[in-house]
Amino acid sequence: MENRIRYARTHVTRNEDLIFERTSPGKSGVALPPLDVPSAPANQILGANLYRDDVEGFPEVSELEVLRHFTRLSTWNYGVDTGLYPLGSCTMKYNPRVNEVVARLDGLATDHPYTPESLAQGCLKVLYETARCLAEITGMDAVTLQPAAGAQGELTGILMIRACLAERGNPRRYMLIPDSAHGTNPASVHTSGYEVRNIKSNAQGCVDLAELGRAMTEDVAGLMLTNPNTLGIFEVQIREIADRVHARGGLLYMDGANMNALVGVARPADFGVDVMHLNLHKTFTTPHGGGGPGSGPVAVKRFLEPYLPAPVVEQTPDGRYRLDSDRPKSIGRVRAFYGNFGMAVRALAYILANGPEGLRQTTEDAVLNANYIMTRLRDVYELPYDQPCLHECVFSDRRQAARGVRTMDIAKRLIDYGFHPYTAAFPLIVSGALMIEPTESAGKAELDAFIEAMRAIAAEIDEDPQFVLKAPYSTRVSRLDEATAARTPILRWKPQ
């Protein structure tokens, strides 16, 4: 029989209307029984000031329609659970399922933050042990788990530096930040009441010691440094950098976003860092993206401990745990209760499941994977800072740009090959950056598939750049108009 189906598309591949656009007047997801009490008008009981009568366009849909709508949308997601997610600087790594098993244990999942200390010993022990493990991994002396994400960790750390220097007599005015830094660094510095002084990187992409020497005056509170930096390169002169900052009375803050390159191999405390944050949702396999929630613990040397946010979990001589809120020099609370407790549970599960050898192996695999990609792509994409990398590698689109194709276009085409794009156009010190971080989670077959895709795109650009400029082709919508979306944002749906 002749196949009469010329063009078949199943309904699940269609683009999806908003739930508001699926409304059908009178439809409802629930059927309530008839009232068996006299009805009372809500506006009279609540008062006019509390009653909202302008709810307009609220979707009227059945339960099944709601279910299907959100189930369909969920199948469009691309996540670590579906494939390689090489978003540089973000460390999108596998979240082992044992974390979730532990986080769902009754006592941990359901305890209320107001539970009295005597009945919350298990939860307090989790907080204490997580902080202790993070202190051991970083070599630091004390840790707060309160900050809800990396940027809040930065703010917490800088406020502690400010409190410490203020007590020494002068909080100072400036904070130094290399030009390769994450954008959150200057924001945290500014919010803490400091002014940012940028320092330019040297030809190797690292801190320029001469430049640092000139910038590091008695007016400068310290240096905020990411190590390895956003090029994935270890600051080999880190001891010298720390010495120069300390010699002028400044403190060294480390942005720990890239700790996935160091865990089990190098400890920031040993190379002169005074205060740093960690991203549990990057390095310690708690969920990242989609609301996380994040967690940005801050680790400090002993002399900064008095300034940690209160309360701090302590162990008493009889082996019990208590919250110490009597901390007169504390910068105060930065987050309700004890931070995102569920993330501490997951991170601790990850740390204990791996143990020291496992954590070290993780770091080595992450570094090996990034170097494998760097080595296999360097003949087709330009490597602006040519040296071995740690956990991520950064290419420039310079060769492809000569044919009119920029990093964002290559990223869009990568979607057609079934991969999540890398980080495009960051760090800013590389023109048209392609920042690739495979993490330790990718096996060789997957790395090879990614490398083949990147090589195929480079070949396509040589043959037909126009073709790549119109990618992606395999998605429900292709190029979105980012500029118009940013210039005239429409932030909520309104009825026509």
Partner 1 sequence: MSYPPEFLYTKDHEWIRVDENVGTIGITDYAQKELGDIVYVELPKVGDHVTAKESFGTVESVKAVSEIYSPVDGEVLAANPKVQASPELVNADPHGEAWLIQVHLVDRSDLEGLMTAEEYEAFISQEKAH
Binding site for partner 1 (CB under 8 A): 183, 384, 408, 425-426, 428, 431, 482-483, 486-487
In the chain, the amino acid numbered 261 is: A
Measured from the CB atom, is 187 or 449 closer to partner 1? 187
- The per-residue b/e assignment along 434-472, b for 16 or more CB within 10 angstroms, e otherwise, is bbbbbbbbbeeebbebbbebbeebbebbeeeeeebbebb
Rounded CA-CA distance 264/343 in Å is 20
Residue among 46 and 428 whose Cβ is closer to partner 1: 428
483 vs 491, beta carbon nearer partner 1: 483
Closer residue to partner 1 (CB): 187 or 415: 187
| Nearest CB to partner 1, comparing residues 87 and 163 | 87
Nearest alpha-carbon partner for 155 in 135, 178, 180, 175 = 175
Q: Please count the other Cβ atoms lying within 10 Å of the Cβ belonging to residue 254.
A: 30
349 vs 436 by CB, closer to partner 1: 436
CB of 210 to partner 1, least distance (A): 17
Closest distance to partner 1 from the beta carbon of 482 (Å): 4
Smallest gap from Cβ 162 to partner 1, in A, equals 21
- Select 486 or 490, whichever has its Cβ closest to partner 1: 486
Looking at the Cβ atoms of 271 and 385, the one nearer to partner 1 is: 385
Shortest distance, position 397 Cβ to partner 1, whole Å: 12
* Residue whose CB is less far from partner 1, 203 or 336: 203
Residue 405 Cβ, how far from partner 1 at the closest point, in Å? 14
Least Å from the CB of residue 356 to partner 1: 39
In whole angstroms, what is the distance from residue 121 CA to residue 140 CA? 25
Residue nearer to partner 1 on the CB measure, 253 or 426: 426
Q: How far is the CB of 121 from partner 1 (least distance, A)?
A: 47
Q: How far is the CB of 182 from partner 1 (least distance, A)?
A: 12
CB-nearer residue toward partner 1: 205 or 339:
205
Question: What's the 3-state SS for the chain?
Answer: CCCCCCCCCCHHHCCCCCHHHHCCCCCCCCCCCCCCCCCCCHHHHHCCCCCCCCCCCCCCCCHHHHHHHHHHHHHCCCCCCCCCCCECCCCCCCCCHHHHHHHCCHHHHHCCCCCCHHHCHHHHHHHHHHHHHHHHHHCCCEEECCCCCHHHHHHHHHHHHHHHHHHHCCCCCEEEEECCCCCHHHHHHHHCCCEEEEECECCCCCECHHHHHHHCCCCEEEEEEECCCCCCCCCCCHHHHHHHHHHCCCEEEEEHHHHHHCCCCCCHHHHCCCEEECCCCCCCCCCCCCCCCCCCCEEECHHHHHHCCCCEEEECCCCCEEEECCCCCCCCCCCCECECHHHHHHHHHHHHHHHHHHHHHHHHHHHHHHHHHHHHHCCCCECCCCCCCCCCEEEECHHHHCCCCCHHHHHHHHHHCCCCCCEECCCCCCCCEEEECCCCCCCHHHHHHHHHHHHHHHHHHHHCHHHHHCCCCCCCCCCCCHHHHHHCCCCCCCCC
Give least dist CB 303 to partner 1, A: 33
Alpha carbon distance 114, 312 (integer Å): 15
Measured between alpha carbons, how far is 5 from 3 in angstroms, rounded to an integer?
Answer: 6
82 versus 198: smaller Cβ distance to partner 1: 198
The amino acid at residue 478 is S
